[in-house]
Copies of this chain bind each other. A is one copy, B any other.
Amino acid sequence: MSHQLPEALDQLSALLARLPGVGKRSALRLAFHILSRPREEAQQLSASLTGLHESVGFCERCGHLAGQALCDICLDPRRNPEVVCVVEGVPDLLAVEATGEFNGTYHVLHGVLSPLRGVGPSELRVAELVERVHGGGLQELILATPISVEGEATAAYIQSLVGREPKLLLSRIASGVPQGSELEYIDEATLGRALRARQAL
C-alpha cells in the first residue's frame, strides 16, 4: 500500500494483534474504530487497562480469582480438595462450575503450552501444580485443558511430570461428538476420536 499509516495507529494495531483471535487485519480495523469514536471512549478503555492487574487478585493455591489469599472455592468446606481439575483459564473454570457436575477444586494454569507464541512451562502455573501434587493428599487430577494441539500437549506435559506419582489417578476429560450434533457435520478428527474412544454399554 502506498500510504504509510501514522505510527500511533500502527503501534496500537500491533498491540491489538497480540490478543487471541485478533488477526492483523481485524486489529487495524479495531484501531480505526477506536479512532473514529469519541476520544473519551479510548480514555475509558485506557484507564480500565491501567489498574486491571492491581485490582484483581488470584488464589495462591489454585489460581482462580480471589479477593483474599484463597478463593471462595478453595475456602468452601463442601468442596473436595482431593480431586483437582486442571484448566487453562478462569473462563474454563467457570464453564465447569456452570455444569454443576463438579464438587472438587481447581488448578488454573493461566494458559497452555504454545512454542509458537513463546509460552513455555515457566509462563504457566505448572510448578505450583507439581508442588501441590508433591504436597500429597491428592486423589485425582482431572486434566481439563482444551482438546486442541496445544491443550493436548499441555496435558501430556503435565502427565510426564506427575504421571508416576503413587496413588494419584490422572484422568483426561472425554472427547467425542458433542450433544445435539449430526454425525455428518462433525469433523473427521472428532468423529475418529469418538470411534476410537467408544465405550462398552
Q: Residues of A at under 8 Å CB distance from B?
A: 1-3, 5-9, 11-12, 15-16, 18-21, 26, 28-36, 39, 41-53, 55-57, 65, 67, 72-73, 89-91, 94, 97-98, 110-111
Contact = CB atoms under 8 A, between A and B. Distances in A.
A1 B97 contact: yes
Contacts of A7: 55
Given A6-B55, A45-B46, 8 more contacts: A1-B97, A9-B56, A12-B45, A19-B30, A32-B89, A39-B53, A42-B50, A46-B46
9 contacts: A1-B94, A2-B97, A3-B73, A8-B48, A12-B48, A19-B30, A20-B33, A21-B30, A35-B52
Contacts of A33: 19-20, 89
A3 B97 contact: yes
Contact of A43 (B36, B50, B90, B97): B50
A15 B49 CA distance: 10
Contacts of A73: 3
B34 A65 contact: no
A44 B50 CA distance: 9
Contact of A12 (B9, B52, B57): B52
